[in-house]
């Protein structure tokens, strides 16, 4: 079967015509406009006198001049270049790029939410504050935490907030601890958050089975260790089964346990990090609880804590007076040991509304079913791909599985080649070369929202690429073949980006 034939038989792509889309600046024609503004009904003023000459610019002539249809067609055509979960499986590992119900989008756009102003006083935001208060408690129940703050704008900021609270906790106790333990299977934001808080990062090796063992923590745990940061399930997709014992070891020497909640998707309704010994954790509403993930955001990364860290929560904290229909909500700034404000106003409100709608529509049984299906789908893919691709830790996984290019070493085909060839089959590539402890890693997360037929199409594509790698390695090594551009110099693009196009001669 040729590469072209296999692409159409097992792929996820539709063929058709496409445009070579110029930049807006290249579309530009002098004098072309896309707006017709009415005449002013107020007196004209001299901008220089009102704003000051220093605030005026004289280089606006280089902005593109376009008609309305030029703009609409340009961005519509660009939108057709995007991969999305509305088109097919989006297998990025550790990112949970799943389909989210469109109902939640509609709820987030209700006029009472969408038209609200962040500077409205709490008395005029009672509906939203009620929702936020309830969402905090739902997240606390799911995770086994005591309190939750919705302020952090993304998972990384929630993680940073958690470590800030750990630092504030020890400072309040008069303890000077300088180290944080981070397993070698951690997300990259873990050591970054620790370092940003002034901690020395101590890497702890995983065992031969891909998980963290108590013996490794005992060897690394000393009185100057403030916390252990652990992701469960870890970035290999494996459940950290020793977490309760590991937490005991850390707590015995006065340390705290930080839980990276990015991989919470397979645990919902099954296991609670707080019950396993976690003291503080962040959530990714944009991964686990129904926000369109990707495209640069927006995200939302609430942080949950046990009671020992409640005094250090970011402010303001949403409070409730009375109960039932008489409930009133307000903002409490009286937290003298707080780490302060993390986000303007209330956080990324739209993400909270989507998450609340997701939780209320699914309920406890629905959340558990999502987790079970995420685990089932990942293990199904692993079973279909195991014979063709190397499995570095061959055991049941949680929500994602990790393969590698080890079996293809003799062909010269690499993980990057496989990822590029998947584009020809109509799939966004999975996460590659991560986690770092697996050489040539392919990290795949199918999520709970994919059907059996969708999983089979994706598995068939990867199996076809494996056959191509053995029979026609040059075909895979030169992929992609069906895109507007093939292989770009990605290193040069990252280090020397062209951020602005200027007309020739300017």
Radius of gyration of the chain (CA): 26
- Is residue 14 pLDDT above 80, yes or no? no
Pairing of strands 441-444, 431-432: antiparallel
Residue of 160, 158, 156, 212 lying closest to 182 (CA atoms): 212
In the numeric block, the tokens 């129940």 are attached to 141
- Average pLDDT of 436-465? 96
Beta strands in 394-453 (DSSP E): 401-404, 431-432, 441-444
Structure tokens at 110: 């209700």
Q: What are the φ/ψ torsions at residue 126 (nearest 5 degrees)? A: -60, -35
What's the pLDDT score for residue 11?
A: 59
Beta strands in 97-192 (DSSP E): 147-149, 179-183
Most distant CA pair in the chain, distance: 77
Higher pLDDT, 160 or 27: 160
Give me the percent of the chain exceeding a pLDDT of 90. 71
In the numeric block, the tokens 């970011």 are attached to 314
Distances (CA, A) of 13 to 116, 414, 444, 458, 467: 41, 23, 19, 11, 20
Virtual torsion, Cα 490, 494, 497, 499, nearest 10 deg: 110
> What confidence tens digit (pLDDT) does each residue in 414-449 have?
999 999 999 999 999 999 999 999 999 999 999 999
Contact between 270 and 301 (Cβ < 8 Å): no
d(CA 134, CA 231): 26
d(CA 142, CA 136): 10
> What confidence tens digit (pLDDT) does each residue in 388-398 have?
999 999 999 99
Mean pLDDT of the chain: 91
Q: DSSP readout, 136-154?
A: HHHHHHHHT-SEEE---SS
Q: Return the half-sphere exposure (C-beta side, CA atoms, 13 A cut-off) of residue 209.
A: 11
Q: DSSP readout, 255-279?
A: -EEEEEETT-TTTTTT--GGGGT-S
Count of residues in the chain = 506
d(CA 269, CA 278): 16
Ranges in the chain annotated CATH 3.40.640.10? 104-361
pLDDT grade for 7, boundaries at 50, 70 and 90: very low
- Average pLDDT of 9-38? 76
Q: DSSP readout, 19-63?
A: --PPPHHHH--TT--S--PPPPSS----HHHHH-GGG--S-GGGS
What's the pLDDT score for residue 1?
A: 40
What residues are paired with 231 via a beta bridge?
Answer: 260
Pairing of strands 441-444, 303-305: unpaired
d(CA 185, CA 94): 12
Quote the Cα angle for 461-464-465, to 5°. Answer: 90
What's the pLDDT score for residue 297?
A: 62
- Is residue 501 pLDDT above 70, yes or no? no
Structure tokens at 450: 């994919």
In the numeric block, the tokens 């067609």 are attached to 73
What's the pLDDT score for residue 8?
A: 43
Q: Is 120 exposed, middle or buried (0-12, 13-18, 19+ CB in 10 A)?
A: exposed
Enter the DSSP assignment of 297: -
Structure tokens at 185: 């299977």
What's the pLDDT score for residue 16?
A: 54
Pairing of strands 303-305, 256-261: unpaired
> What confidence tens digit (pLDDT) does each residue in 244-277 have?
999 999 999 999 999 999 999 999 999 999 999 9
What's the pLDDT score for residue 61?
A: 64
> What confidence tens digit (pLDDT) does each residue in 182-233 have?
999 999 899 999 999 999 999 999 999 999 999 999 999 999 999 999 999 9
Contact between 321 and 291 (Cβ < 8 Å): no
**What angle, 0 to 180 degrees and rounded to 10, lies between the N-to-C axes of helices 452-471 and 415-424?**
120
- Average pLDDT of 123-130? 94
Q: Please tell me whether the peptide bond between 414 and the residue prior to it is cis, using omega within 30 degrees of 0.
A: no
> What confidence tens digit (pLDDT) does each residue in 59-109 have?
666 788 999 999 999 999 888 888 888 888 999 998 888 988 899 999 999
> What confidence tens digit (pLDDT) does each residue in 299-357 have?
899 999 999 999 999 999 999 988 777 889 999 998 999 999 998 778 889 999 999 99
Count the neighbouring beta carbons within 10 Å of the beta carbon of residue 60. 7
Structure tokens at 239: 């459940």
- Average pLDDT of 8-18? 55
Element (H, E) at 249: helix 243-252
For the domain covering 104-361, report its CATH number.
Answer: 3.40.640.10
Q: Return the half-sphere exposure (C-beta side, CA atoms, 13 A cut-off) of residue 45.
A: 7
What residues are paired with 180 via a beta bridge?
Answer: 201, 227
Give me the percent of the chain exceeding a pLDDT of 70. 93
Quote the Cα angle for 93-99-104, to 5°. Answer: 130
What's the pLDDT score for residue 166?
A: 98
pLDDT grade for 12, boundaries at 50, 70 and 90: low
pLDDT grade for 18, boundaries at 50, 70 and 90: low
Distances (CA, A) of 423 to 90, 419, 426, 430, 440: 11, 7, 5, 10, 18
């Amino acid at each position: 079967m040729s590469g072209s034939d296999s692409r159409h038989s097992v792929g996820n792509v539709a063929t058709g015509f496409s445009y070579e889309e110029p930049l807006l600046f290249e579309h530009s024609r002098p004098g072309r406009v896309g707006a017709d503004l009415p005449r002013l009904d107020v007196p004209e003023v001299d901008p220089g006198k009102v704003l000051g000459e220093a605030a005026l610019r004289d280089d606006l002539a280089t902005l593109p001049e376009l008609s309305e249809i030029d703009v609409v067609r340009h961005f519509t055509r660009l939108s057709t270049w995007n991969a999305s979960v509305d088109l097919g499986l989006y297998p990025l590992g550790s990112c949970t790029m799943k389909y989210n119900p469109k109902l939640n989008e509609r709820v987030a756009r209700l006029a009472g939410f969408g038209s609200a102003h962040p500077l409205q006083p709490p008395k005029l935001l009672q509906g939203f504050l009620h929702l936020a208060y309830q969402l905090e408690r739902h997240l606390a129940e799911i995770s086994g935490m005591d309190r939750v703050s919705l302020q952090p704008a993304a998972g990384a900021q929630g993680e940073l907030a958690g470590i800030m609270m750990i630092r504030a906790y020890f400072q309040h106790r008069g303890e000077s601890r300088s180290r944080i333990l981070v397993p070698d299977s951690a997300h990259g934001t873990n050591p970054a958050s620790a370092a940003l808080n002034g901690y020395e990062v101590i890497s702890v090796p995983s065992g031969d089975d891909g998980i963290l063992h108590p013996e490794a923590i005992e060897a690394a745990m000393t009185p100057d260790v403030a916390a252990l940061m652990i992701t469960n399930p870890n970035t290999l997709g494996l459940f950290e089964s020793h977490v309760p014992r590991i937490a005991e070891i850390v707590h015995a020497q006065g340390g705290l346990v930080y839980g990276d909640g990015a991989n919470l998707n397979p645990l919902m309704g099954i296991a609670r990090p707080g019950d396993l010994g976690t003291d503080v954790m962040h959530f990714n509403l944009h991964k686990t609880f129904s926000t369109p993930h990707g495209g640069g955001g927006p995200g939302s990364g609430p942080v949950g804590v046990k009671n020992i860290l409640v005094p250090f929560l970011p402010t303001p904290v949403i409070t409730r007076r009375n109960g039932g229909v008489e409930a009133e909500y307000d903002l409490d700034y009286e937290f003298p040991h707080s780490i302060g404000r993390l986000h303007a106003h209330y956080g990324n409100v739209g993400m909270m509304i989507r998450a609340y709608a997701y939780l209320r529509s699914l309920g406890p049984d629905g959340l558990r079913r999502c987790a079970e299906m995420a685990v089932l789908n990942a293990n199904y893919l692993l079973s279909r791909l195991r014979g063709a691709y190397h499995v570095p830790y061959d055991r049941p996984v949680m929500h994602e599985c990790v393969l590698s290019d080890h079996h293809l070493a003799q062909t010269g085909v690499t993980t990057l080649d496989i990822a590029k060839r998947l584009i020809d089959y109509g799939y966004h590539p999975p996460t590659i070369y991560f986690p770092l402890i697996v050489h040539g890693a392919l990290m795949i997360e199918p999520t709970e929202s994919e059907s059996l037929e969708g999983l089979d199409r994706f598995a068939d594509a990867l199996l076809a690429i494996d056959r191509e790698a053995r029979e026609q390695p040059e075909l895979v090594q030169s992929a992609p073949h069906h895109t507007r551009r093939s292989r770009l110099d990605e290193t040069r693009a990252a280090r020397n980006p062209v951020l602005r196009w200027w007309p020739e001669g300017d």
